[in-house]
Chain A
Amino acid sequence: MMRLPAFTYAAPRSIDEAARILAGEGPQAMLVAGGTDLYPNMKRRQQSPRVLIGLRGIRELSGITGIPTTGLSIGACTTLTDLSTHRLVVESYPALSRAVRTISTPILRNMGTIGGNICLDTRCNYYDQSYEWRRAINFCMKCDGDTCWVAPSSRTCLAVNSSDSVPLLCAIGATVRLAGTHGHREIAMRDFYNKDGIRYINKQPDEIVTHIALPPVNGWSATYHKLARRGSFDFPVLGVAVAMWRDPDGTVLDARIYLNAVASAPVEAAEARQALIGHKPTPDLIAHASHLASINAKPMDNTDLDYAWRKKMVRVYVRRALNGLS
Chain B
Amino acid sequence: MSSLSKLRVRLRVNGEEHEMLVPVEKTLLEVLREDMGLTGTKHGCELGECGACAVLVDGKPVLSCLALPVELEGHEIMTVEGLAAAGRMHPLQEAFADLGAAQCGYCTPGFLLAAKSLLEQSSDPTRDEIKDALAGNLCRCTGYIKIYEAVELAARRMRSGSETAPEQAVLYGR
Which residues of A approach B to under 8 Å, CB–CB?
A: 1-9, 11, 35-36, 39-40, 43-44, 50, 54, 56, 81, 104-108, 110-111, 231-233
Contacts and interface: CB of A to CB of B under 8 A. Distances in A.
Contact of B135 (A3, A56, A106, A111): A106
Given A56-B71, A105-B136, A40 B23 contact: no
Given A2-B47, A40-B47, A107-B51, A8 B5 contact: yes
Given A35-B66, A107-B51, A4 B25 contact: yes
B70 A108 contact: no
A106 B115 CA distance: 12
Given A2-B46, A6-B2, A106-B132, 14 more contacts: A1-B46, A3-B1, A6-B23, A9-B5, A9-B70, A35-B71, A39-B66, A54-B71, A105-B135, A106-B136, A107-B137, A110-B62, A233-B136, A233-B138
Contacts of B70: 9, 11, 54
Main secondary structure of the interface of B (DSSP, over half): loop
A298 B46 CA distance: 33
B63 to A, nearest CB: 6
Interface in B9-40: 23-27, 30
Given A39-B66, A106-B135, A111-B66, A8 B60 contact: no
Given A6-B2, A110-B61, A232 B48 contact: no
Interface of B: 1-5, 7, 23-27, 30, 43, 46-49, 51, 54, 60-63, 65-68, 70-71, 114, 132-133, 135-138
A40 B135 contact: no
Contacts, number: 92
Interface hub of A3, A50, A105 (most chain B Cβ within 10 A): A105
Contact of A35 (B2, B51, B68): B68
A231 B71 CA distance: 30
Given A50-B4, A108-B48, A232 B62 contact: no
Contacts of B49: 233
A5 B67 CA distance: 14
B44 to A, nearest CB: 11
5 contacts: A6-B1, A6-B25, A40-B66, A44-B47, A110-B60
A261 to B, nearest CB: 18
Contacts of B1: 3, 5-6
A107 B138 CA distance: 12
Nearest to B66: A39
Interface hub of A9, A107, A231 (most chain B Cβ within 10 A): A107
B71 A8 contact: no
